[in-house]
Chains A and B, each alone.
Chain A
Amino acid sequence: MFTRQNIYELGDDWAEPILWYARGVQAMKARPLSDVTSWSFYGAIHGYLRWLWDFHGITDPSEPEPSADDAATYVNQCQHQTWYFLPWHRGYLLALERQVRREIELLGGPHDTWALPYWNYFETDRNVVPPAFRTPDWPDGSGDNPLFVEQRWGPMAIAPDNDFHELVHLNPLSDREFSGPGNGGSTGFGGRPTAFNWSGGDNGGAEWQPHNIIHTLVGGQHPTLTFPPPNDQVPILGLMSVPQTAAVDPIFYLHHCNVDRLWESWNNFPADKLAINPNDWRNPSGSDWGDGPAASGDREFAMPNTDGSTWGFTPREMEDITALDYEYEDLTPGVPVESDILGARVSNLGLPSPVKRTRESDMSSEKTVEMLGSGENKISLSGRARQINGVRMSAPGVARLSSSLARGAARSGLPDRVFLNLENVRSDSDAVLFKVYVGLSAESNQDDNAEHFAGTISLFGTTLATDPDGSHAGNGITHVIEITEIFDRMYLDNRLDTAEINVGLVPVGDIPEAANVEIGNISIYRQSE
């Protein structure tokens, strides 16, 4: 059994597992893109955009492309805005780990014990890229450290980010469902049902936080330089900021190990966490998820074996990490995660404690998702200035929500949950972050009103989802954020009966005009439990 360890707990900046990772990466980097066991090919499995690769010097313009067969089987495979996000990345990590292990074996290293370390950025002073990845030199001072990437311009690339805990959290780990009903309501911890989903649609909880935000905080954008025409005026994006270059950065795999660890933690840690429904904290049981995209007539998930043959896998095969022969040193998420949010909530609202359901037949057979409010205009976001947008509320919908908060829903006895939707978000830059506040008055300062903070949005992957020729026809990404707590407070303060609720959008840093950040609409939904 291989054990993935916390990179900051290995005892030294260049501890043995890190050193061997670097040597393995170096060996893979020595091979050309057309070799399926090369470092650049592994990056292309996640995402590949040749002009961008040539621009960054990942490839030389004269370097041959991967073969047509290899491209069709492996390239541009990363799964985002889908319930396959977690299992696909687990398989991807396993394949890369096996390849690095093979390189270590060929170099005479500890291949029978080596495992990828994980980067738990939630711990104090560890929200910075680990030291071995920040220096261009090997420990002996020679200067071709393969873990170093010049194109990291986010705040976490150089020093601990002071705003980290304001921007990154683990709230999705409190969501008991892997996949929510969507359609404006919860997308769940793991994401919504889709077929093979290269990009576009609704973010799942774990993908939103911490995954997307970390990508942007590491990759960032160049402070002054912009891309050449026709993308001029868009700042050059760090490798980690864009799905088509992210996996070329060696830190990518440590970040994803942590996301993978959080999935395992969501499933099993702590062992006695409260489950109200039989499916709580469990992965989807149906074959639509378990069989993977082949069930929808799409390409199967496939990775190269170390001998160059193909390893196809399904999400069901990715469920049990013990069967996959690895474990994590520690499953503690990193910041406190409330696993009994519902219990605290009903108590706060003065409702009876939820009854634990023991059979699936006890569960409500359907969840109602209903639009409660909507904005009226498309929103453009740029610069540093805060934008306040009114969302007009539907009185009958709000009355139904109030009723459920007062007495619990008729069917389940539980109060409704509330979700904010930022619909059809499009952008020409992925390295954009902004904070979202709900119920903030136009005069008040958001810094003094933390209770109105709904979350931070990263536009990681949005450029791809904006492409009209892309697999989602340019519909962009819809961000779904739970704002139940804010609405509970408004209800308890008798402020729910309002015709309009303000939603404030606050850029983190400067959003360039050329990024063309556009939000199709802002809407609010209730979801019965």
Chain B
Amino acid sequence: MSRLTDPAGLRWQLISIAAILVTAALAWLLIFSAGGPLFSTPVLCTGTLLGSIPGGAQLSSALAWVSHSQLAVSWYVMLMAMMLPVVTGAVIHVQVRSFRSDRMANSFGFILGYLAIWMLAGLPIIFLALFLHLLINDTAVLFVASLGLAVIWQITAWKQFALNKCHARPSLTVFGSQPLLASTRFGVSYALWCLVSCAPLMLTTLMMPVHGPVWMLVVAVWIWAERLEVPRAPAYRLTVPKRAFRAGQFRISALVNRYKLP
């Protein structure tokens, strides 16, 4: 796995990474801001706004109460915050395998394909969350159940299989009208595997009864950290992504040792 820091320095790569991270940071600011609930899918789904809907209401009633566009925008903001940071490596790959004049367009093509799949996936995920909330009307039970489901998924070999696929860095077609198509197609396939890998975790964020944004942050860090793990053979096991933590620990202790007083 290549590191982002490069002794030879490739400025355009660093600018791209910075742009992605700043966008994600702004999305987090929005979610944690005073107006956050309006941009927070978990809040919209877990009943803060649905609380006034009469018990036993149908999904259609709920959707009449919370507008489609509001859900779409909140889901989009959520994706920008949680999922953008994990695509930096793939975006750099697209740029490296593009002609200079196509780098930006192809990067956007990739992100467009990636976000398009996740936006589409939002339909069943959010509808499922709303449906379950209306059906059971006990967010604590729903959260525990969804967390259990996510943990089971994390243990399966299929999860590891999908996670491995998120490390694919294919060759891309770069001529004619095809490069944009190739990078978008890469974004789509990357998002599909990302979706298979992360969807159960994402569902838990829509079930969190309180502190939804905080749980979103926890899940986002987990997803980012497990993407930093080295691919391994699919097997039934629970893998805690500790590599990022160990790297941080090593660097902090190196820093402390460097500036330690005699």
Contact = CB atoms under 8 A, between A and B. Distances in A.
B171 A521 contact: yes
A198 B100 CA distance: 32
Interface string A434-469: 000000000000000000000000000000000011
A366 B100 contact: no
A192 B1 CA distance: 10
A29 interface: no
B243 A365 contact: no
Interface string B224-250: 000010111110000000111111111
13 contacts: A180-B8, A181-B8, A183-B92, A193-B7, A197-B1, A296-B1, A296-B243, A366-B11, A370-B100, A374-B99, A397-B99, A471-B231, A473-B231
B3 A469 contact: no
Nearest to B233: A469
B99 A469 contact: no
Nearest to A287: B254
A359 to B, nearest CB: 16
B4 to A, nearest CB: 10
Contacts of A385: none
A7 to B, nearest CB: 37
Interface residues of B, number: 46
Interface of B: 1-3, 5-11, 13, 92, 96-101, 164-165, 167-175, 228, 230-234, 242-251, 254
Given A194-B2, A297-B244, A367 B8 contact: yes
Contact of B242 (A182, A297, A366): A297
Nearest to B5: A288
A35 interface: no
A291 B165 contact: no
A195 B3 contact: yes
A291 B168 CA distance: 28
A477 interface: no
Contact of B171 (A297, A423, A468, A469): A423
B164 A469 contact: yes
Contacts of B5: 193, 288
Contacts of B11: 366
A523 interface: yes
A145 B3 CA distance: 46
B136 to A, nearest CB: 39
Nearest to A296: B247
Nearest to B14: A366
Contacts of A197: 1
Contact of A366 (B2, B8, B171, B174): B8
Contact of A469 (B98, B168, B232): B232
A468 B247 CA distance: 26
Contact of B250 (A297, A368, A370, A371): A297
Contacts of B232: 469, 471
A356 interface: no
B149 to A, nearest CB: 25
A32 interface: no
Given A296-B3, A371-B98, A475 B169 contact: yes
Contact of A473 (B8, B98, B167): B167
A376 B175 contact: yes
A345 interface: no
A378 interface: yes
A371 B97 contact: yes
A193 B3 contact: yes
B10 A194 contact: no
Interface in A332-390: 365-371, 374, 376, 378
B12 to A, nearest CB: 9
B9 A365 contact: yes
A183 B91 CA distance: 13
Given A179-B8, A368-B10, 17 more contacts: A183-B10, A183-B92, A184-B96, A184-B97, A193-B2, A193-B3, A193-B6, A295-B254, A297-B242, A297-B245, A297-B247, A371-B99, A376-B175, A394-B99, A469-B164, A471-B232, A475-B170
Nearest to A179: B7
A468 B167 CA distance: 10
